[in-house]
Structure 1
Amino acid sequence: MKVQTNKPYDDINITPMLDLAYVLLVIFIIMTTASVQGIKISVPKASAAQSLAKPTTKAISITNDGRVFLDTFPVTMTELESQLRSYQAVTPEFPVVIKGDRTAQYGRIMEVLDICAKLQITQLGLVSERQAPAQ
Structure 2
Amino acid sequence: MYQRKRRRPVSDINVVPYIDVMLVLLIIFMVTAPLITAGVNVDLPKAKANPLAEDSKPPVIVSVTKDYEYFVTDGNQKEGPISPQELAVIVGAHIEVEPERPVMVEGDRTVDYDAVVSLMVLLQAQGVGSVGLMTDPVEE
TM-score (norm 1): 0.53
Q: CA deviation at 1:55?
A: 4.1
What does the per-residue CA deviation read over 1:15-68, in whole Å, with 9 as the maximum and x for residues that have no partner? Answer: xxxxxxxxxxxxxxxxxxxxxxxxxxxxxxxxxxxxxx9643100111111111
Structure 1 residues without counterparts, runs of 5 or longer: 1-52
For 1:112, which of 94, 119, 123 is the aligned residue? 119
Matched-pair identity in % = 22
Is the 2:62–2:72 contact (alpha carbons within 8 Å) kept by the matching residues of 1?
yes
1:102 and 2:106 aligned? no
Q: Which has the larger radius of gyration?
A: 1
SS of residue paired to 2:71: strand
SS of residue paired to 2:62: strand
For 1:87, which of 86, 94, 97 is the aligned residue? 94
TM-score (norm 2): 0.51
Mapped to 1, the partners of 2:121 and 2:114 lie a distance apart of 10
**Match of 1:129?**
136
Mapped to 2, the partners of 1:132 and 1:98 lie a distance apart of 22
Partner amino acid, structure 1, of 2:118: E
Q: CA deviation at 1:99?
A: 0.8
Mapped to 1, the partners of 2:139 and 2:108 lie a distance apart of 19
For 1:73, which of 68, 79, 103 is the aligned residue? 79
* Runs of 4+ in structure 1 over 2 Å off: 53-56
SS of residue paired to 2:105: strand
The RMSD of aligned alpha carbons is 2.0
Partner amino acid, structure 1, of 2:65: T
